[in-house]
Amino acid sequence: MATDGDAVVGFVGLDDLSLDMAASLLRAGYKVQAFEIDETLVAKFLNLGGTRSASLIEAGKGYTCTPWDDAYDNSLRIPEVAALIVQISHVDQINDVFFGQQGVLKGLQKGALIILRSTILPSYIQNLERRLGGHLLSLGNNNPHALVLKSVYSIDLTDEDSMAHLIEAYVSRGFSEVLKGRTMITSSGRSEANAKAQPILSAMSEKLFTFEGEVGTGSKIKMVNELLEGIHLVAALEAISLCTQAGIHPWIVYDIISNAAGNSWIFKNHIPQFLRGDTKVHSYRTVVQNLGIVLDTAKSLIFPLPLLSVAHQQLILGSSYGQGDDSDVSFVKVWGKLLGANIQDAASAELYEPEQLARQIVGKSVVVKRIGFIGLGAMGFGMATHLLKSNFCVAGYDVYKPTLTRFANAGGLIGNSPAETSKDVDVLVVMVTNETQAESVLYGDLGAVAALPSGASIILSSTVSPAFVSQLERRLQGEGKGLKLVDAPVSGGVKRASEGTLTIMASGTDEALTCTGAVLSALSEKLYVIRGGCGAGRELNYYSLFFSIIAFSGVKMINQLLAGVHIASGAEAMAFGARLGLNTRMVFDFVKNSGGTSWMFENRVPHMLDNDYTPYSALDIFVKDLGIVCRESSSLKVPLHIATVAHQLFLAGSAAGWGRQDDAGVVKVYETLTGVKVEGKLPVLKKEVVLQSLPPEWPLDPIDDIHRLNQSNSKTLVVLDDDPTGTQTVHDIEVLTEWSVESLVEQFRKKPECFFILTNSRSLSSEKASALIKDICGNLSIAAKSIENIDYTVVLRGDSTLRDAAVSLLGEMDAWIICPFFLQGGRYTVKDIHYVADSDWLVPAGDTEFARDASFGYKSSNLREWVEEKTRGRIPASSVSSISINLLRKGGPDAVCDTLCNLQKGSTCIVNAASDRDMAAELRGKSFLCRTAASFVSTRIGIIPKAPILPKDLGINKERKGGLIVVGSYVPKTTKQVEELKLQCGHFLKKLEVSVDKLAMKSLEEREEEINRVAEMANLFIGACKDTLIMTSRELITGKTASESLEINFKVSSALVEIVRRISTRPRYILAKGGITSSDLATKALEAKCAKVVGQALAGIPLWQLGPESRHPGVPYIVFPGNVGDSKALADVVKSWALPSRLSSTKELLLNAERGGYAVGAFNVYNMEGAEAVVAAAEEENSPAILQIHPSALKQGGIPLVACCVSAAEQANVPITVHFDHGTSKQELVEALDLGFDSLMVDGSHLSLKDNIAYTKYISLLAHSKNMLVEAELGRLSGTEDDLTVEDYEARLTDVNQAEEFIDETGIDALAVCIGNVHGKYPASGPNLRLDLLKDLHALSSKKGVFLVLHGASGLSEELIKASIQRGVTKFNVNTEVRKAYMNSLSNPKKDLVHVMASAKEAMKAVVAEKMRLFGSSGKA
């Protein structure tokens, strides 16, 4: 991995594992040097290509030194050693190796990395770390050497970065089928040390387990593995002793168990050496010593290890046999003497192949026409249904009736009793739990034996004792019906039972085996047969070629002994690991690749980690099975200490009430006693606590640097996005939905910093998606080559399996970067764990609803493990690099750049991030393939966020059209958001629910009918200016497999596409909820080929404008991801984009008039015709207007008149508001506040100035609380309006000085002035307006931010109107001329009332339109 060829790794101490590690490092491009005194090892090291170091000091040095070496001692050499690997076998070596006069620390300098290989206890390693941390500090900054280091190399010896970094590494060989003896490393250390060591450790190992935190984890995990190896060893020895005493050949037991559930790595690899006599007594003494250390540690933690304690005592007994010459005696001889079993002779007896006999039997087996099956429990049901799949006719029986129903639904026949099930069968399979049940179904009431036809065969697969089998054989012979018995215990679990891949151990007469061979073969992957008649009896010797039928019940018993002990030992080991503070999932991953693994460990421990005790095999079964083992061992006089303790543990679990739960539940015994939790789920964390625990952000905002680098770097960022949600954080970026070479060339010619390609691959199978990505990448390559000086980087937002498709076309990238941080979506990555924010908590991503997606689900929250999961193990978690938040925030961009640029070519790297500033970018000409969330793209190209986009920003806030909301996403968050949307917006939203059942599960006719129904209704609603919600029914329908779920998704998605395609009315906006939904609608329904991301409708919710080629050019398209926002987010977006009840407020109308140099007419209306006349004129003139209601009109028309005006304003296509005019009493004004008016006039002109101020202020405060504009009058107009007359002597002009006080005290928004204007008709001499006074009032109102209003506009000349507007009037009240037009229309007789109404409306409309033109508001809407 070393890219510059200069990185050196030093070794102190060598062994075979060290040599393997060194060879791996050399292959990765490192240089290696070592200090070792064993010449044989040194010679091997040199042959590999390593360099020998003459001393401990030199092992930690590089090849160059400071130019003043003669002036100062060797501690001033500048290290080029990337890491020093130190091997320590005893704690006493620490002082000499590290801190002695010639210790390795003399050659180490700033930030040195030490990798410690040791078997010493964790406490000693932790103490060493503390001492190393203080070593350089002990020099002191006043020391001459320290001064040189500080002045020349900026090494501050009080800075923790100057201290040595320590990693503890437990190195072993992996024993799994994958690793096959290759190197495996478990490392632990603090985050900075881990980050530094990870590339080197990965280079040295085939599999790497990294634990972050205190050092010493490797020693701890070693103890857990040794615990399992010790227990498994003694259990294996007990099993061999039992089989010997039971008269079963040890090698046959070995062959069978090695392929059965009782197998373990120790059994498979140790027992052959044991049986051959190759293991000696003295070889166990080291095991005893190591197990003693484990027990001492458990004792110090007050943690019980009953199984290990017994195993330890047994091994002490065996290894203490003899001293001196006797210690070299074979262990098989010693163990046989201790347990009273002649194992050595048994192992030497003549042998044959049970599998070969099985093949012979199956080859001549007879045809079986009908099978009876009694016992449809967990395994029995799987076995019986597999026989159905194998084309056997099977009749089943079980006491649990629902199981019988399930079996009938699977195609089986059912019987109501054992007798009924056994009629006319050729073979009867008995798969009940125990001897009592077997006795009952065979000989009890309505038992099977009486009903069996003559010559039938019985396969007994229950776990019973050998004695029971022997007795049953004799009883069947006594029936006189020629009934045959095959003893066939099974092993393998529920899954293998249903797949027909069990291990079966069968024994019986030749005839019985021939008659049942076809059935046994169908059920098994491994079939072992021991030939021999049932009359051979139990007096067996080892030279006989045949065993009796009871022999294989004995083998089953031995298998269950081992299986039970292995489950219990797995529980003990995992609980102990939890008590040691280890990550239990990583413990499991380590052990399953190590010598401590077993079949049961790998199968049952996942249940413990998931805290899932669904009973695949009940705990009580092992209470029974190990009970049989203990009883038989007593009968055979073989002491089985381990099996007996395991039995007691299962008994304890059953006594606690867990007997009917899964047998993995035995771990609860340990959990209950000790308080530990084995469950491997990551905890849910308090978000605030996690974020506050992180180092401060890098202090410098990198945005300017990013812009500068982008200007100097011509690379275009090309984002391949599998759904449109990747545009969640960008703006002013284009999105392509097709990728022809021509389109890509056109994009590249624009030389954009970035563009998106919407691949729409999420709904495709992985094969089709990969083919699609290859097609896109191929076109990208062709397009880029056709334009000079074009380079680009690909960001991949899609399933990780697509990475290979991209690489195959683009060539090997320098690295694959994974950065899923997304602030707006609540996505954080801390310590390689990806979290999803849920309110104030951070939930591990693997435990969220998104991880349970039927098509794209995953289990891992740790991104290293997620990579391994998604690549199906091709990229192991141990090979994945990581950039920590510490590095981002302490080292800054330069440190990140160095790390990225030094990654091994083609490697994978995770970027941790908890804020936008944590994001990293590529530098130095490297090519990265990035799999990221939306935040990466905006940070990478230096986009500065902007405020959410609103309709007014796009100039469509005045459009009177309905919007379209389409919801296809099924995640629970979306369902909650839809419920909140209906709750908040149900009063104006039209809702159409599409039946998923009809779309995906019913006939084509029903599907078409549903699509037509929804499309037709949506067209009507949108055409009626109603925002319309189309949503799929919320009941999630999934398939049995991921591909079936994808097919259902496709049917639903394609139906939504067709619905939207059939909506011909152009919507005001379109909102698509869900990734697949938004992608399909954009590309297929709306036929968009290019769109522009204009911004976000809400944080994390992108908003596009559709291109000119689409079906609705320019329509805003809101892409609402399924995983963004809280429960109110969807409602918030819809409310901000929905058709507003009013296009404007009175205040906005007057403000626009003030800015535009015109005035708005406020027209008094008295009925529906009046309101319609004003609206019709306004729409015809494209003018804003105000509908005005006088108190006298309200008295006559009441609330219906107000409702009529409000409705007319809401339905209008131009801005119309409703105003309450001349409120002269508090009562009527307070009532008006809640009637729907936009504004009101407080008329206290009849009061004294003081009282007018008080009156107006009171109402103003109330109205402003409801966001209503307040108009008031100062001065008093003469004239008559609605039967209210003010005589000339009562009139008075507005005083400027009083006006200033009035405005300041009342807080009004608009002032109705008296400058000689009147209500009603002007005198014959015409209006006499004081324009000079108006000018002074305008100067005041401009300063105060108050609008000027002129009542009495009827009869004013065009010149006066224009002069008034020039002097600040923005609202003219018009009443008299409109009323006159109405009254005059009534003088002409009409045939019908509707004609009267139409005539009156047209007459008023003409006057209103003329005034709008006069006021200058025409064309200003």
Residue-wise pLDDT for 843-899, tens only, equals: 998 888 777 766 667 888 888 888 888 887 788 776 788 888 888 887 888 888 888
- CB-hemisphere CA count at 13 Å for 48? 27
Helix ranges, 1279-1356 (H):
1296-1306, 1331-1344
Measured distance CA(218)–CA(587) in Å, rounded: 10
CA distances to 174, 209, 828, 1296 from 590, in Å:
9, 7, 27, 89
Residue 1296 is predicted with a pLDDT of: 93
The amino acid at residue 1198 is G
How far is it, in rounded angstroms, from Cα 112 to Cα 115? 10
What tens digit of pLDDT does each residue of 996-1028 get? 889 888 888 999 999 999 999 999 999 888 999
Q: Are 913 and 718 in contact (CB under 8 A)?
A: no
Which of 367-393 are b and which e, b meaning 16 or more Cβ less than 10 Å from the residue's Cβ? ebebbbbbbbbbbbbbbbbbbbeeebe
User: What value does the mean pLDDT take over residues 767-782?
Assistant: 86
Of 1055, 979, 1070, 962, whose CA–CA distance to 1013 is shortest?
A: 1055
Residue owning tokens 């100035």: 1249
pLDDT for 395 equals: 97
Task: Give DSSP secondary structure letters for 513-551.
Answer: HHHHHHHHHHHEEEEEEEE--GGG-S---TT-S---TTH
Chain center to CA of 1103: 24
- What percentage of the chain exceeds 70 in pLDDT? 88
Question: With 70 as the cut, is the pLDDT of residue 710 above it?
Answer: no
Report how far residue 513's alpha carbon sits from residue 361's, in angstroms, rounded to the nearest whole number.
7
Say whether pLDDT at 715 is over 90: no
pLDDT band (50, 70, 90) for residue 443: very high
Q: What are phi and psi of 734, to 5 degrees?
A: -95, 150
CB 650 within 8 A of CB 257: no
Contact 140, 146 (CB under 8 A): yes
pLDDT band at 1051 (very low <50, low <70, confident <90, very high): confident
Q: Is the pLDDT of residue 262 over 70?
A: yes
How far is it, in rounded angstroms, from Cα 121 to Cα 547?
Answer: 51
Q: CB neighbours (10 Å) of residue 1051?
A: 16
Query: Cβ-count burial of 1417 within 10 angstroms (0-12 exposed, 13-18 middle, 19+ buried)?
Result: buried
Using 50, 70 and 90 to split pLDDT, how confident is the model at 665? very high
Q: What are the residues facing 1254 on neighbouring strands?
A: none
List, in sequence order, every beta strand (DSSP E) within 1190-1250: 1216-1223, 1239-1242
Contact by Cβ (8 Å): 245, 262: no
Q: What's the Rg (C-alpha) of the chain?
A: 44
pLDDT at 1356: 87
pLDDT of residue 915: 81
Cα–Cα distance between 551 and 539 in angstroms, integer?
Answer: 11
CA end-to-end span of the chain, whole Å? 68
Residues forming a β-bridge with 717 = 754, 793
Q: Are 896 and 942 in contact (CB under 8 A)?
A: no
Q: Give 1346-1349's long-range contacts (Cβ < 8 A, gap of 24+).
A: 1346/1303, 1346/1308, 1346/1309, 1346/1310, 1346/1311, 1347/1150, 1347/1151, 1347/1154, 1347/1309, 1347/1310, 1347/1311, 1347/1371, 1348/1310, 1348/1311, 1348/1313, 1349/1162, 1349/1271, 1349/1310, 1349/1311, 1349/1312, 1349/1313, 1349/1373
- pTM score: 0.57
Long-range CB contacts (within 8 A, 24+) of 537-542: 538/247, 538/466, 538/470, 540/247, 542/247, 542/249, 542/345, 542/346, 542/348, 542/349, 542/350
Give me the residues paired with residue 619 across strands: none
84's enclosing H/E stretch is: strand 81-88
Does position 432 have pLDDT exceeding 80, yes or no? yes
pLDDT on residue 724: 74
Report the range of poorest mean pLDDT among 408-412, 926-930, 1019-1023: 926-930
- Is the Cβ–Cβ distance between 318 and 343 less than 8 Å? no
Q: What is the reported pLDDT for 1354?
A: 80
Phi and psi at residue 64, in whole multiples of 5°?
A: -120, 160
Using the predicted structure, report yes or no on whether residue 96 has a pLDDT greater than 50: yes
- pLDDT greater than 70 at residue 204: yes
CB atoms under 10 Å from CB of 923, counted, come to 15
pLDDT higher than 80, residue 506: yes
Of 56-70, 304-318, 357-371, 994-1008, give the lowest mean pLDDT range: 56-70
3-class DSSP state of 116: strand
772 membership: H or E segment, kind and range: helix 766-785
Give the pair of three-digit tokens for residue 664: 């993995």
Q: Is the pLDDT of residue 801 over 60?
A: no
pLDDT band, very low/low/confident/very high, at 543 (cuts 50, 70, 90) = very low
Question: Which amino acid would we find at residue 87?
Answer: Q
Higher pLDDT residue, 179 or 704?
A: 179
Max avg pLDDT among 613-622, 887-896, 1036-1045, 1184-1193: 1184-1193
b/e 1066-1091 (16+ beta carbons within 10 angstroms → b): bbbbbbbbbbbbbbbbbbbbbebbbb
Report pLDDT digits (tens) over 269-278: 999 999 998 8
Average pLDDT value for residue range 928-936: 67
The H or E element spanning position 309 is: helix 306-319
Contact 303, 565 (CB under 8 A): no
Residue 836's DSSP bridge partners are 827, 843
Whether 495 shows a pLDDT value over 90: the answer reads no
Cα 1131 to Cα 466, 814, 826, 982, 1134: the distances in Å are: 71, 44, 19, 8, 5
Looking at residue 149, its pLDDT comes to 32
Best-predicted range by mean pLDDT (16-25, 347-356, 811-820, 862-871): 16-25
CB 491 within 8 A of CB 463: no
Task: Give the separation between CA 135 and CA 148, rounded to whole angstroms.
Answer: 17
| Whole-number Å distance between alpha carbons of 379 and 393 | 19
Reported as type and span, the H/E element at residue 733 is: strand 733-736
Handedness of CA 136, 140, 144, 148 (dihedral sign): positive
Q: Calculate the average pLDDT of the chain.
A: 85
Task: Please report, as a single letter, which amino acid is at residue 1250.
Answer: K
Which residue has 């180490």 as its token pair?
108
DSSP 1167: S
For the stretch 1214-1260, pLDDT in tens is: 999 999 999 999 999 999 999 999 999 999 988 999 999 999 999 99
Averaged pLDDT, 504-528 = 92
Distance CA 626, CA 564 (A): 7
Distance (Å, whole) CA 77 – CA 501? 64
pLDDT score of 553? 65
Task: Please give the angle made by the CA atoms of 972, 973 and 978, to the nearest 5 degrees.
Answer: 95
3-state SS of 587-623? HHHHHCCCCCCEHHHHHHHHHHHHCCCCCCCEHHHHH
Could you tell me if 1319 and 1289 are in contact, meaning their C-beta atoms sit under 8 angstroms apart?
A: no
| The two structure tokens encoding residue 891 | 């080292």
Lowest mean pLDDT of 226-235, 1008-1017, 1211-1220, 1312-1321, name the range: 1312-1321
1120 forms beta bridges with 1073
The residues carrying an active-site annotation are 556
Structure confidence at residue 782 as a pLDDT band (50, 70, 90): very high
Q: Residue 1361: pLDDT band by 50, 70, 90 thresholds?
A: very high
Question: Is the confidence at residue 985, as pLDDT, over 60?
Answer: yes
pLDDT digits (tens, 9 = 90+) for 617-650: 899 999 999 998 999 888 888 899 999 999 999 9
Assess whether pLDDT exceeds 80 at residue 993. yes
- pLDDT bin (cut points 50, 70, 90) of residue 935 is low
What is the residue type of 808? S
Q: Which two tokens stand for residue 762?
A: 């999420």
- Whether residue 909 contacts residue 936, with contact meaning beta carbons closer than 8 Å, is answered with no
Answer for the pair 572, 605: CB distance below 8 angstroms, yes or no: no
